[in-house]
Structure 1
Amino acid sequence: MKFFNFMKEQLPKIIFIILLNSSLICCSSVIPKEIRNQALKGVSLKELASNPAAYYGKTVILGGKVVVCRNLDGHGEIEVLQKPLGFRDRPRDRDYSEGKFIGI
């Protein structure tokens, strides 16, 4: 009986803490602030592919859905279907894409 009384009193607090933590996690960007600050803004995959030398050594942010993961000798790579980035640098779920790219 003590357990049920305890749960009845504490359950709203526990639920509040879980929801608060979940909302804080969901609102944070997936990319660290330091990297976001040094990245070039608004570079599309099309621009990057048409003139890769212009972006050599620079940081750009692209996003999308992982299509394939490969484990190769000495490194791994992921093939990504590009998607436009939305709020907090998360890929938006849209049909539009500028193509695929490979991350190493």
Structure 2
Amino acid sequence: MKFLNFMKEQLPKIIFIILLNSSLICCSSVIPKEIRNQALKGVSLKELASNPAAYYGKTVILGGKVVVCRNLDGHGEIEVLQKPLGFRDRPKDRDYSEGKFIGI
């Protein structure tokens, strides 16, 4: 009986805390703040591909869908179909892409 009373009193609080935590997690970027702060803003794959030397040693953020993963001798690669990033740094437009890139 005590357990049922406890659940009646505490269950709304527990549900509220779970929903609050879920909403906070959903509102955050998938990229750590430190990396976002040091990254150049608004660099497209097209700009990067046309002048890679201008971005050598700099941090840029690209996103998309992983299409191939490769385990190579001493390292791995992922081939990504580029997609523009939207809210929370997640790929947003499923039909538009500037091409593919390889991440090492």
TM-score normalised to structure 2 length: 0.91
Deviations 1:17-64 (A, max 9, x none): 111111111111111222111111111001111111111111111011
Q: Could you tell me which residue of structure 2 aligns to residue 50 of structure 1?
A: 50
Aligned-partner SS, 1:57: coil
Q: Note the aligned Cα RMSD (angstroms).
A: 1.3
Gaps of 5+ in 1: none
Shift of 1:88: 2.0
Report the identity percentage.
98
Shift of 1:96: 0.4
Shift of 1:102: 0.8
Aligned pairs, how many?
104
TM-score normalised to structure 1 length: 0.91
Structure 1: which 4+ aligned runs deviate by more than 6 Å? none
Gaps of 5+ in 2: none
